[in-house]
Amino acid sequence: MSARNLCMDQLKRQKAAENYLDYSRQQDEAEESFLGEVIREETYRILYAAIDKLPWQTRQIVLMCMDGDSNNEVAEKLGISVNTVKTLKKNGYATLRQLLANEYVIFLFFLLEQL
């Protein structure tokens, strides 16, 4: 009877240890998920704050391109030439690179989180 109880106690301890490890892993995953979400939200906040500093038409073009619209679609929707879209988009991206020069570390974390 004593050997049986020892075995049962050992099995209970092993089960408790497994449950603790599972709980610990879940907590770690939740923390990583939360941290990833915070990084993503902060990245988008910084990006959109920089986009808001662009001139109106350039801002519209950048936002439409970010939504997946092609240069032709943007030109058609805004009633401007494709070359104007290309020029304003190029200038907008150059301005964003300047505005976000100090924020590259945050974008790097965001990109690494996505991998």
Say which CATH number the domain at 60 has.
Answer: 1.10.10.10
Domain that holds residue 108: 2-114
- What is the per-residue pLDDT for 107? 63
**How far, in Å, CA of 22 to CA of 20, rounded?**
5
Q: What is the pLDDT of residues 3-20, one digit of tens each?
A: 777 777 777 777 777 777
- What is the per-residue pLDDT for 59? 94
Q: What is the pLDDT of residues 54-91, one digit of tens each?
A: 999 999 999 999 899 999 999 999 999 999 999 999 99
**DSSP 8-state secondary structure symbol assigned to residue 79:** T
Provide the number of structural domains found in the chain. 1
* Residues 110, 113, 60, 96, CA torsion sign: positive
* Three-state SS at 93: helix
